[in-house]
C-alpha cells in the first residue's frame, strides 16, 4: 500500500492533459489550485498506516490474500459494507471535504457483480478481465475515477437520437487488439488526481444502442484523453492565503472535471462491456446503489465538522447557552445522525450476489441518498442562522493582514473577550465553506438527483405487497385477488412473508 506522500509522488509520474481557467496544468501534484483535492485524497492513503484506523481503512483481498486499502476491496460480507461507511464518515471528519476515492471503489464493485452476470448469459470473459484489473489496482494501490455521467445533449432524446452521436460515450471501432471510443463524461469527481478512469454507461439502453453499451478502464494520461477542471464557489480563494478559503488544506468537494475521449484506444483486456445493452441498466443500478450508500457516511462526517464549527462560533460569540441555539445545534445533530442510520441500515441489510460479492440494500441506499438531497440544506441553514449575517459579510484576509486595518478588525470583530479575533474569523470562514459553498449542489446531484432516487424507491418498495397487507387487515378476503395477481394462495403468501 502507498502512504499519503507516496500517493502524491505517484501523481508526478503521470502526464494527464488538464486545463483550468484557460491554462494547461503541468503537474497535478504541484499545482496550488489542485493541492486541496490532492491532500484530501492523500488522507485515504495516510490513514491506512494509522493503527487506530487499520481495521476500517484496510482489508484482505479475496483475490490475492494480501493486505490492501479498503478503497480497492471487493466487499465480501455485510460487515465489509458497514466498515466502508464507517471509513467514509471518518474521512469526512478528518478532511471536512470530499476525498473522492469512493467513486472508483464503487465502480470496481459494480463491474465485478455485473460482469459475472454478463458472462453467465453470454459466455464472455469480462469477469476474468475485471478480476485481473482489480488485482492490478490493489497491487499498485491505485485511485481510479468512476466515470458514469454522459454530457447527454438534448435530454428529450435517447443516445441514438442525438444529432451528435458523441454526446454519449460510444464505441466507434472494434479492432483485433481492442476498441476505439469517443465521447465525454461530466462532473467526474477526483478525475484529475486519479491514476485511472473507469467508464460505465449512464442509463438503460435499447437494442439499437449497442455502441453505447461500453465499460472500460484507461490511464488518466492515455492518448486522446483531455480533462477540463470545473470551477467551484470561491475556488481561487485558496490562492490568497489560508483563512478566506475556510478549509484551505482540503477544499470542499471533489474537484470535478469534464473528461473528453477523442478516439481513445482501449485494449481488450481493459474492456468490461462491449455491446451488451441489456446489462447497461443493471450496471447503472448496482453502481448507484453502492454510491448512494456512501452519502450517509461521507456527508455526515463533513456535517460533524460543520456542527463542531457552529458550536465553536456560538461559544466565541457568547450565545452557546441560549436555548434556541442549543435547539438548533441539536436539530443539526439529529438530521446528520438520521442520515447515518440510513447508511448503516442499507449496509447491514446488504446481501450476497451471484458473483459472491455483497451489495447494499438498494431500497435503503436510495432512501439514504434522498435524505442527503434534503437534510444538508437544513443543517446548513441552521449553521448560517446560528453564525449570523457575518458569514457573508466578513472582511477579507488581506484586510486582516493589512497593518492599516488589522487593529480595527481585531477590535471591532471581537466576540468573547478571551477568544482571539482571528480564531473567530477562521471558524466563521469554515462555516461559510461548509454551508454555502459547493457542498450543497453536490449533496443534491452527486450519485443522482432526487428524481433518480424516487424512481428507484418506487420500483423497489413492493407496493403491491403492502396493498395486500392492508386488505388482510381490513378484512377483505384476499385469496382470489392473490391468485389473480400473484398466482399464489393466501397461505403461500404468508409463507413468503416469513
Q: What's residue 494's pLDDT?
A: 67
* Strands 178-188, 170-175: pairing kind: antiparallel
Tell me: pLDDT of 488 over 90: no
Q: For 463, phi and psi rounded to 5 degrees?
A: -60, -35
Mean pLDDT of the chain: 95
pLDDT at 498 over 60: no
pLDDT at 495 over 80: no
Looking up cell 443516445, which residue turns up?
Answer: 159
Instruction: Give the span between the Cα atoms of 1 and 255, in whole angstroms.
Output: 24
What is the pTM for the complete model shown? 0.93
Q: Which of 256, 276, 432, 468 is catalytic?
A: 256
Confirm whether 105 is a catalytic residue.
Answer: no
Which tens digit of pLDDT belongs to each residue from 258-294? 999 999 999 999 999 999 999 999 999 999 999 999 9
What lies within 8 Å, CB to CB, of 103 at 6+ separation is 145, 146, 188, 189, 190, 291
User: Do 32 and 239 touch, CB atoms closer than 8 A?
Assistant: yes
Q: Among the options 58, 72, 75, 102, which is catalytic? A: 102
What is the pLDDT confidence band of residue 479, given thresholds at 50, 70 and 90? low
Residue 98: active-site member: yes
The string of pLDDT tens digits covering residues 411-454 is 999 999 999 999 999 999 999 999 997 889 999 999 999 999 99
Kindly list the domain boundaries of the chain, sorted by start residue.
283-459, 462-497
Q: Is the pLDDT of residue 104 over 70?
A: yes
Which CA distances in Å does 53 have to 48, 90, 298, 442?
7, 9, 16, 27
Q: In whole angstroms, what is the distance from residue 28 CA to residue 250 CA?
A: 15
Q: Is 102 considered catalytic here?
A: yes
Query: Does the domain formed by 283-459 have CATH 3.40.50.300?
Result: no
DSSP string of 60-127, one letter each residue:
E-TTT--EEEGGGPPP-SHHHHHHHHHHHHHHHHHHSS---THHHHHHHHHHHHHHHHHHHHH---HH
| Residues in CB range of 423: below 8 A, 6 or more apart | 316
Q: What is the pLDDT of residues 199-256, one digit of tens each?
A: 999 999 999 999 999 999 999 999 999 999 999 888 889 888 889 999 999 977 789 9
**SS3 assignment, position 372:** helix
Catalytic residue of the set 295, 339, 342, 358: 295
Q: Nearest CA to 36 among 232, 256, 250?
A: 250
Catalytic residue among 37, 73, 187, 291: 291
Catalytic entry in 98, 105, 274, 346: 98
Please state the rounded mean pLDDT for residues 307-333. Answer: 98
Name residues whose C-beta falls within 8 Å of residue 396's C-beta, 6 or more positions apart in sequence: 240, 244
Q: Indicate which residue of 58, 189, 252, 373 is catalytic.
A: 189
Query: Would you state the pLDDT for residue 369?
Result: 97
- Residue 485's pLDDT is 59
Residue 423 annotated to the active site: no
Average pLDDT value for residue range 389-396: 96
The cell numbers describing 62, all together, are 479475496
Give residue 465's pLDDT.
86
| pLDDT computed for residue 421 by the predictor | 98
Residue 482's pLDDT band (cuts 50, 70, 90): low
pLDDT, position 209: 98
pLDDT, residue 460, reads 92
Whether 189 sits among the annotated catalytic residues: the reply is yes
**Which grid coordinates are listed for 215?**
465499460
pLDDT in tens, 37-69: 999 999 999 999 999 999 999 999 999 999 999
pLDDT range class, residue 96, cuts 50, 70, 90: very high
Q: Of the residues 46, 209, 211, 442, which is catalytic?
A: 442
Catalytic residue among 245, 298, 339, 342: 298
132 is catalytic: no
- Our answer to whether residue 400 is catalytic in this structure is no
List all residues 6 or more positions away from 180 whose beta carbon is below 8 Å from its beta carbon.
Answer: 171, 172, 173, 263, 264, 265, 266
Q: What is the pLDDT of residue 468?
A: 81
| Main-chain dihedrals φ then ψ at residue 92, nearest 5 degrees | -65, -40
Helical axes 280-316 vs 102-122, angle rounded to 10°? 160
Are 2 and 208 within 8 A, CB to CB?
no
486 has pLDDT over 80: no
Three-class SS state of 390: helix
Catalytic: 291? yes
Amino acid at each position: 500500500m502507498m502512504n499519503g506522500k507516496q500517493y502524491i509522488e505517484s501523481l508526478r509520474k503521470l502526464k494527464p492533459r488538464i486545463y483550468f481557467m484557460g491554462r494547461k496544468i503541468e503537474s497535478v501534484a504541484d499545482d496550488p489550485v489542485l493541492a486541496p483535492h490532492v491532500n484530501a485524497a492523500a488522507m485515504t492513503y495516510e490513514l491506512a498506516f494509522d493503527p487506530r484506523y487499520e481495521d476500517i481503512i484496510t482489508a484482505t483481498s479475496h483475490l490475492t490474500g494480501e493486505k490492501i486499502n479498503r478503497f480497492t476491496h471487493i466487499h465480501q460480507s455485510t460487515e465489509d459494507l458497514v466498515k466502508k461507511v464507517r471509513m467514509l464518515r471518518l474521512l469526512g471528519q478528518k478532511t471536512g471535504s470530499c476525498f473522492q476515492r469512493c467513486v472508483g471503489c464503487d465502480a470496481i464493485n459494480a463491474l465485478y457483480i455485473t460482469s459475472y452476470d454478463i458472462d453467465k448469459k453470454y459466455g464472455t470473459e469480462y469477469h476474468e478481465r475485471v478480476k485481473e484489473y482489480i488485482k492490478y489496482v490493489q497491487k499498485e494501490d491505485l485511485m481510479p475515477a468512476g466515470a458514469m455521467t454522459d454530457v447527454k445533449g438534448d435530454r428529450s432524446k435517447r443516445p441514438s437520437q442525438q444529432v451528435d452521436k458523441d454526446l454519449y460515450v460510444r464505441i466507434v471501432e472494434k479492432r483485433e487488439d481492442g476498441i476505439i471510443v469517443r465521447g465525454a463524461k461530466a462532473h467526474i469527481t477526483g478525475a484529475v488526481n486519479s491514476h485511472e478512469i473507469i467508464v460505465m454507461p449512464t442509463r438503460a439502453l435499447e437494442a439499437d444502442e449497442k455502441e453505447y453499451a461500453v465499460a472500460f478502464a484507461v490511464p488518466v494520461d492515455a492518448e486522446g484523453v483531455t480533462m477540463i477542471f470545473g470551477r467551484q464557489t470561491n475556488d481561487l480563494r485558496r490562492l490568497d492565503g489560508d483563512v478566506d478559503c475556510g478549509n484551505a488544506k482540503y477544499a470542499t468537494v471533489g474537484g470535478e472535471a469534464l473528461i473528453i475521449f477523442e478516439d481513445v484506444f482501449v485494449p481488450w483486456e481493459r474492456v468490461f462491456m462491449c455491446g451488451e445493452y441489456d446489462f447497461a441498466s443493471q450496471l447503472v443500478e448496482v453502481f448507484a446503489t453502492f454510491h448512494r450508500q456512501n452519502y450517509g457516511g461521507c456527508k455526515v462526517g463533513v456535517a460533524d465538522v460543520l456542527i463542531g464549527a457552529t458550536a465553536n462560533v456560538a461559544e466565541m460569540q457568547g450565545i452557546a447557552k441560549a436555548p434556541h441555539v442549543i435547539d438548533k445545534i441539536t436539530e443539526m445533530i439529529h438530521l446528520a445522525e438520521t442520515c447515518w442510520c440510513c447508511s448503516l441500515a442499507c449496509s447491514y441489510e446488504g446481501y450476497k450476489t451471484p458473483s459472491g460479492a455483497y451489495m447494499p440494500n438498494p431500497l435503503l441506499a436510495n432512501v439514504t441518498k434522498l435524505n442527503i438531497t434534503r437534510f444538508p440544506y437544513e443543517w446548513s441553514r441552521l449553521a448560517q442562522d446560528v453564525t449570523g449575517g457575518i458569514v457573508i459579510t466578513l472582511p477579507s484576509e488581506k484586510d486582516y493582514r493589512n497593518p492599516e486595518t488589522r487593529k480595527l478588525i481585531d477590535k471591532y470583530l471581537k466576540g468573547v473577550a478571551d477568544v482571539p479575533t482571528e480564531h473567530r474569523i477562521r471558524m466563521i470562514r469554515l462555516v461559510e465553506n461548509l454551508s454555502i459553498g459547493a457542498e450543497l449542489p453536490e449533496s443534491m446531484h452527486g450519485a443522482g438527483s432526487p428524481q433518480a432516487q424516487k424512481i428507484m424507491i418506487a420500483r423497489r418498495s413492493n407496493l403491491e405487497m403492502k396493498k395486500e397487507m392492508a386488505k388482510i387487515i381490513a378484512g377483505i378476503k384476499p385469496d382470489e385477488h392473490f391468485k389473480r395477481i400473484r398466482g399464489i394462495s393466501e397461505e403461500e403468501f404468508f409463507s413468503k412473508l416469513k
